[in-house]
Structure 1
């Protein structure tokens, strides 16, 4: 496993988490890129740094040519073009990313036929959510005889340790309603609406609210598992005060939220606030999955939870494990696909176990309402 890996956006918090995971679980050498002439962090063994402005397509093309695997961690993805993905396909270089923008992923998936013809494996949205969350759904569906309803919920403490890009993504996704499949019908959902409180494991059981949020999983899971009648994705922050502040932003005129200057102002203010509150809230993540379906001729609810004290590090696990499996030839599937279509559950469980991330799972009779169950007890 002596391949050369290019981590675009490797100087950011997510990119560095991916790089750290590769250091622990592979023998690859890697190039971390960023906008600055020098990195603002200390490079580790088998790492080098390269200043790589993404607008310089010639330099991007040359950088891709010198590596075997390209991992795209630069965000926010909604405003990115597809030059890197297209170049990887043209140069027959394996590609993965941590894309969290539904708009970006929809357009990226349109490259599927071209990538298949070129024999290039491209896997999108490989972080924690999307990423690990998608594979948790596949894992759960495979435990049931039939699955029809998926409810995914995420709680992130403070900044999640992921930097200001996450703030920009959050405020960007508040701009417009989005489509969701609920009870077999495609409906339009207002972002950050329909607050609810669900049970999470400690220390994430503080009663924080969860709200509808536009996620990649909401549409890729429907395509990957067409038997599903509903895919609900909700998100919330700790402390809960951040949820109320974010919800207030949805009442701003839509034209304001579509202004880059407004998004940047809100992101900078929010990030500054989390730099204070992270000290007592932490930067962890809790994920909760409920799947309603049938098991052994009985209506049941499959319930799974996973937590980690550092959201960015967990994202590194998701992307790093996919990279590890690609580099060792354990997965390969030409085309552009979401992770749940490419990563078998056996390998998903194996790589998470190597990283010490545990998914708590149980199947309950549906006579118990799924939201009344307490996986932390």
Structure 2
């Protein structure tokens, strides 16, 4: 099935507009930018056209929660739907199911653990309709699994995966992302630690980690992501998988840690109901800090000689380019579908669906780069 029409849900949002920008450079396809505001969708179409877009662009108002959504989707008849409309916490699979129904491929940028991990429930339906349904085509687990796949064969036994994301305070952020994080702030979730599944609490266990000379040391805290469940299954023998993220400004970061404590002891049930207030408050500090962020993945285990080995992979994004990182997995997969170079069908999380070389082809022109440090013994 040739992909010639791409529908981007949330197409003018923080991530959607970056995906639209990248795909608009492809001649011979149509990109439909969709969201609840037709004015914002039309404005992005106009902006991309002024920048010399080669793709045909159109705008439409769509609400995925509307009773008219399936009808609109059938009328549009896209070959690929890219769903960026978070937060995905609490969402059902109405969009993915609708795509299967009309025989359209589907990619989302979800980071919610249950949403991404349970997408396999749609596998048989997707295969029956010969479509590809991918969830989590973002920094995690899309990029994280690609990086680990690059190094896993260098270990005779991979024992520990410890990774983190540290965005710059000045980098553009979306309210939906904040809402998703707040939904589990102070709440327990399971992680694999030294071979045992134990509870960790969202936005707690604060620590500082060195991201190298460009980024420096950043505060981190626990974040619940699909990888905590997916990676122990993918990489057999791993005993510990941990993930954290943080805010660059210590005041904001430690304030979140305190909020997590209040939720843990039961004084606040759900911080996400205050998302708008918290998001607006954080914007007051937007000019502080830097526009530089990154990602770090630490792998520990044993080499072919059964000697201890550690690999540290660090990704750096300067000049406010960091928000492009979560979009690159979806962009890579969309381009592969458009080129007809991916034959996979069914429904699955985005695990090892592209190579690090393919990532670099998209990342390096943006100024996003990475380097590796290896220790033996």
1:42 and 1:346, CA in 2 relative to 1: closer, same or farther beyond 3 A? closer
Aligned equivalent of 1:212: 222
Offset of residue 296 of structure 1:
3.4
- 1:289-300 correspondence runs (5 A): 289-297=297-305, 298-300=307-309
How much has 1:344 moved relative to structure 2? 4.0
Which stretch of the first structure deviates more once superposed, 231-240 or 43-52? 43-52
Q: After superposition, what is the alpha-carbon deviation per residue over 1:25-46, rounded to whole angstroms, capped at 9, x for unaligned?
A: 6653211111123217432233
Equivalent residue number for residue 286 of structure 2: 278
Shift in Å, 1:224 = 2.1
What CA deviation, in whole Å up to 9, does each residue of 1:267-321 have, x standing for no partner?
Answer: 2233223323332324443100110122331321011000213332222223211
8 Å contact 2:187–2:263 — kept in the other structure?
no
Aligned 8 A contact 2:293 2:322 in 1 = yes
TM-score, normalised relative to structure 1: 0.87
Alignment of 1:181-260 (within 5 A): 181-205=192-216, 207-253=217-263, 257-259=268-270
Structure 1 residue 5, shift from structure 2 partner: 0.4
TM-score of the superposition, structure 2-length normalised?
0.87
1:173 aligns with 2:172: no
Q: Please, what is the CA RMSD of the aligned residues?
A: 2.4
Secondary structure of the corresponding residue to residue 301 of structure 2: strand
2:173 to 162, 176, 188: 162
Aligned length: 362
Q: Which position in structure 1 is the counterpart of 2:127?
A: 116
Shift of 1:106: 2.8
- Write out per-residue CA displacement over residues 198-232 of structure 1, whole angstroms, 9 at most, x where no aligned residue: 21034421x33211211122112222223322111
Secondary structure in 2 matching 1:115:
helix
Question: Which deviates more from structure 2 when the two are superposed, residues 21-30 or residues 303-312?
Answer: 21-30
Unpaired runs of 5+ residues, structure 1, are 368-377
Q: Distance in 2 between matches of 1:185 and 1:25?
A: 48
Q: CA deviation at 1:350?
A: 4.3
Q: Which residue of 1 is the match for residue 90 of structure 2? A: 79
1:52 correspondence with 2:62: yes
CA contact (8 A) 1:2 1:27 kept: no
